[in-house]
Amino acid sequence: MQNPATLATAASVKDSTTPSATPSATTWIKHPLAALDSAYAGGVVIRDGIIIELVAAGQTPVSSIDTIHDATEQVLLPGLINSHHHFYQTLTRAHPQALNKELFSWLVSLYPIWARLHPAMVESSTSIALAEMLLSGCTTASDHHYLFPAGLEEAIDIQIQQASRLGVRVHLTRGSMSLGKDQGGLPPQSTVQSEQTILDDSERLIQRYHDARPSAMVRIALAPCSPFSVSTDLMKASATLAQQHKVQLHTHLAETEDETAFCLRMFGQRPVDYLESVGWLSDRVWLAHGIHFNDEEVQRLGKAGVGIAHCPSSNMLLASGQCPTLDLEAAGCPVGIGVDGSASNDGSNMILEVRQALLLQRLRYGAARITHQKVLDWATRGSAACLGRDDIGELAVGKQADLALFKLDEIQFAGAGDPLAALILCGAQRADRVMVQGRWRVIDGQICDLDIEAMKARQRELAAQLLT
């Protein structure tokens, strides 16, 4: 039986086919083809950028509706959340000098190239990365930018401008490198900064941009790059600053066996022991990769609540290994998914990354334990937990209206049975619609109000400069 209030307003309800539906309107995403959770099999109702009602299968909302979006041909997901990326690397995809190499040699070949980045390159690479992620159903992205050669001191400011322009929710980490070749690290000296410069700028960015409120579109975290590119003192000082301002901490850890050997040689400790010694073993921390842990280390990380951003494509491309996701999760670690840099992936497509996680993790844990629902949970609630968020990552009353809708009308879906499983198993690549904070950012597979062809042309022009 239909709700009388819904019937009374039926004549004035309009179909949501344009970006004109504003967050202040009450919108029903109606009767999706399939949904990640059966609790909203009949859709969700949104007002002021917030989910105000879940609709059961075959039911109509209690709320009075202004706008309806008919989702009967679309699979409904919470907006995907990318927990680790390097936006600038979209400029060096498949770079000739970095092909067929593992992590340390790959980094050594690319550091001098990345040292040539300038502000226009950061602007272009950020917008390309964010656009690519939006089109793949991603509504929140975390970026780890740690390169600040002379002239690029305001790289994070540029990223924030581009995120605002595209309407994507971001967690931008003020990365850093202070340990150059002269101090026994991997990066060239031109790419490292003094510790005081790093800490001063970290504080500036937190005070200027970090929004601690629920619904925040921008948050700042502190992210010394890795044990082989920063000093012990900087790791400790960053932890103190993060505690003072109540922001998250992020770094690469235990990505390769080479890193373990470096930590033993440089610090006399394995990576997790080093992490604990600098005050980083806490639930304020999430780590990129997290592959080479022993059983005792997994338990320590879980007890501390440290998050892990699993980056399957990068781990395969660089032959780094397999993250022990289920073991970490069972121990108490939040597990999310990250696309990692587009020079070690070489893309920024979140829905494809979910599929990669399923395939890679099945090799470790088997098909029965790694389901399509499990990997989608990592890419939504798991990634949100890594970022310290409880207002995104799921479609529930009171949560942010961040969602993605996928059609199954492309050739790879012909003959597919279960629509939700088909998204992952058949290889979905592009969302049909994406909403962030109640606003449509993608409609009919296109980003609203964006000249993407001009963006791509500019990116190609700038990337060519890094090939010479």
CATH of the domain at 154: 3.20.20.140
Q: What is the DSSP letter of 121?
A: H
CA angle at residue 419 from 416 to 423, to 5 degrees?
90
Alpha-carbon torsion, ordered 370, 373, 379, 380, to 10 deg: -150
CA angle at residue 149 from 262 to 166, to 5 degrees?
105
- The pLDDT of residue 111: 92
258, two tokens:
């080479």
Residue 289 lies inside a defined structural domain of this protein: yes
Omega prior to 346 cis, within 30 of 0:
yes
Rg (CA), the chain: 22
> For the chain, first and last CA: distance in Å?
68
How do residues 136-184 score in pLDDT, each as one tens digit?
999 999 999 999 999 999 999 999 999 999 999 999 999 999 988 888 7
Helix (H, G, I), strand (E, B) or coil at 300: helix
* Kind plus residue range of the DSSP H or E element containing 163: helix 155-166
Q: Are residues 259 and 124 in the same domain?
A: yes
With a cut of 50, say whether residue 8 has pLDDT above it: no
The percent of residues in the chain predicted with pLDDT above 90, rounded, is 90
C-alpha pair distances (Å), 159 with each of 52, 163, 165, 220, 458: 31, 6, 10, 12, 16
Residue 40 lies inside a defined structural domain of this protein: yes
78 close to 406: Cβ distance less than 8 angstroms:
no
Range of the domain at 421: 4-79+394-447
- The pLDDT of residue 114: 95
- The pLDDT of residue 18: 44
Give φ, ψ of 440 to 5 degrees: -70, 125
- The pLDDT of residue 455: 98
* Kind plus residue range of the DSSP H or E element containing 463: helix 452-465
Average pLDDT over residues 352-375: 98
Q: Is the entire prediction scored with pTM above 0.75? A: yes
Residue 458 lies inside a defined structural domain of this protein: no
Q: Are residues 181 and 212 in the same domain?
A: yes
Q: Are residues 255 and 377 in the same domain?
A: yes
Q: Are residues 229 and 377 in the same domain?
A: yes
Spatial separation of the C-alpha atoms in residues 237 and 241, rounded to whole Å: 6
C-alpha pair distances (Å), 306 with each of 171, 286, 334, 380, 382: 17, 6, 7, 17, 12
130, two tokens:
């964010």
Q: Are residues 71 and 129 in the same domain?
A: no
How do residues 245-271 score in pLDDT, each as one tens digit?
999 999 999 999 999 999 999 999 999
- The pLDDT of residue 182: 84
Q: Is the dihedral of CA 459, 460, 461, 465 positive or negative?
A: positive
Give φ, ψ of 90 to 5 degrees: -60, -15
242-255: b (≥16 Cβ within 10 Å) or e: beeeebbbbbbbbb
Residue 179 lies inside a defined structural domain of this protein: yes
Residues forming beta bridges with residue 285, ordered by sequence position: 249
Spatial separation of the C-alpha atoms in residues 157 and 161, rounded to whole Å: 6
- The structure tokens 């990116």 sit at 459
How far is C-alpha 144 from the geometric centre of its chain's CA atoms? Answer: 10
Q: How many CB atoms lie within 10 A of CB 29?
A: 28
Give φ, ψ of 173 to 5 degrees: -100, 130
The band of 22, judged by pLDDT with boundaries at 50, 70 and 90, is: low
- The pLDDT of residue 23: 59
Q: How many CB atoms lie within 10 A of CB 283?
A: 15
- What's the whole-number average pLDDT of the chain? 94
Q: Are residues 114 and 66 in the same domain?
A: no
Residue 292 lies inside a defined structural domain of this protein: yes
Spatial separation of the C-alpha atoms in residues 137 and 417, rounded to whole Å: 22
236 close to 222: Cβ distance less than 8 angstroms:
no
The band of 16, judged by pLDDT with boundaries at 50, 70 and 90, is: very low
408 close to 33: Cβ distance less than 8 angstroms:
yes
111 close to 181: Cβ distance less than 8 angstroms:
no
Q: Looking at residue 28, which CATH number applies to its domain? A: 2.30.40.10
With a cut of 60, say whether residue 206 has pLDDT above it: yes
Q: Are residues 146 and 206 in the same domain?
A: yes
Q: Are residues 294 and 190 in the same domain?
A: yes
The band of 342, judged by pLDDT with boundaries at 50, 70 and 90, is: confident
With a cut of 50, say whether residue 11 has pLDDT above it: no
The mean-pLDDT minimum among 5-19, 100-114, 215-229, 437-451 falls in 5-19
Residue 90 lies inside a defined structural domain of this protein: yes
Last residue of a domain, one of 340, 369, 386: 386
Please tell me the total count of domains within the chain.
2
293, two tokens:
């842990």
Give φ, ψ of 223 to 5 degrees: -145, 70
Q: Are residues 250 and 315 in the same domain?
A: yes
Q: Are residues 98 and 35 in the same domain?
A: no
Q: Are residues 349 and 406 in the same domain?
A: no
Give φ, ψ of 416 to 5 degrees: -70, 145
Give φ, ψ of 202 to 5 degrees: -60, -45
With a cut of 90, say whether residue 20 has pLDDT above it: no
Spatial separation of the C-alpha atoms in residues 176 and 192, rounded to whole Å: 7
**Residues 6 or more apart in contact with residue 116 via CB below 8 angstroms:** 149, 465, 466
Residue 257 lies inside a defined structural domain of this protein: yes
Q: Are residues 154 and 220 in the same domain?
A: yes
Residue 459 lies inside a defined structural domain of this protein: no
Residues forming beta bridges with residue 47, ordered by sequence position: 50
How do residues 282-338 score in pLDDT, each as one tens digit?
999 999 999 999 999 999 999 999 999 999 999 999 999 999 999 999 999 999 999
